[in-house]
């Protein structure tokens, strides 16, 4: 578990480092992730909080209450450029979700060796293709 990966925001003020492998990678097609990312779905390697070290200015935070669960999710942004670095959830506050595209070199993320989980496929866009052979769920799924 000594694999290190670095990432950060587009302006470079916020940097982070992750240690070891993520416990899973959530690929979330919910409408909230579509709106917050401005894209078809979010790809989120999920780490234990202690696997992630963030440096730079204090992150801006926005707490959203989920329509469906009534629980909060807290997004973290670079205060300068607004890049969404990741989020934390009330459901599992010891886990740090990182937005996959913020890694300097996200090519280490591997759908075959990491535990990919496709969720909220009920709101997936027909222009966002889902590959065969990955775990898929119509809504939230808790192992």
Name the minimum Å distance from CB 52 to Zn ion. 17
- Whole-Å CA distances, 42 to 13, 55, 58, 99, 119: 22, 23, 23, 7, 10
Looking at the Cβ atoms of 20 and 23, the one nearer to Zn ion is 23
Where are the alpha helices (H) located in 4-143, listed in sequence order? 31-37
Considering the rule CB under 5 A, would residue 98 count as an interface residue with Zn ion? Answer: no
Q: Which residues make Cβ contacts (< 8 Å) with residue 36, sequence separation at least 6?
A: 42, 75, 84
Considering the rule CB under 5 A, would residue 139 count as an interface residue with Zn ion? Answer: no
Name the minimum Å distance from CB 7 to Zn ion. 12
- Piece of 29-37, 46-54, 91-99, 131-139 that binds Zn ion (CB under 5 A): 29-37
Considering the rule CB under 5 A, would residue 65 count as an interface residue with Zn ion? Answer: no
Which residue of 78, 88, 98, 124 would you call a contact of Zn ion, by CB under 5 A? 78
Sign of the four-CA dihedral 88, 94, 99, 102: positive
Q: How far is CA 27 from the centre of its chain?
A: 8
What gap in Å lies between CA 28 and CA 103, rounded to an integer?
18
Considering the rule CB under 5 A, would residue 81 count as an interface residue with Zn ion? Answer: yes
Q: How is residue 61 written in tokens?
A: 């935070």
Q: How is residue 26 written in tokens?
A: 């959530």
Considering the rule CB under 5 A, would residue 33 count as an interface residue with Zn ion? Answer: yes
- Piece of 30-38, 86-94, 101-109, 134-142 that binds Zn ion (CB under 5 A): 30-38
| Site size with Zn ion, rule: CB under 5 A | 9
For the chain, percent helix, then strand, then coil, each to nearest 5?
15, 40, 50
Which residue of 25, 28, 46, 124 would you call a contact of Zn ion, by CB under 5 A? 28
Residues near Zn ion (CB under 5 A) are 9, 11, 13, 28, 30, 33, 78, 80-81
């Amino acid at each position: 578990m000594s694999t290190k990966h670095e990432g950060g925001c587009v302006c470079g003020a916020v940097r982070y480092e992750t240690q070891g492998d993520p416990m899973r990678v959530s690929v979330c097609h919910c409408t909230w992730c579509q709106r917050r990312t401005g894209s078809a779905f979010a790809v989120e390697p999920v780490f234990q909080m202690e696997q992630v070290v963030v440096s730079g200015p204090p992150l801006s935070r926005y707490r959203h209450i989920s329509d469906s669960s009534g629980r909060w999710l807290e997004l973290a942004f670079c205060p300068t450029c607004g890049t969404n670095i990741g989020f934390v959830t009330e459901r599992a506050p010891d886990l740090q979700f990182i937005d996959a595209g913020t890694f300097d070199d996200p090519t280490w993320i591997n759908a075959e060796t990491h535990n990919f989980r496709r969720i909220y496929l009920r709101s997936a866009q027909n222009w966002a293709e889902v590959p065969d052979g990955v775990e898929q769920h119509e809504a939230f799924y808790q192992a």
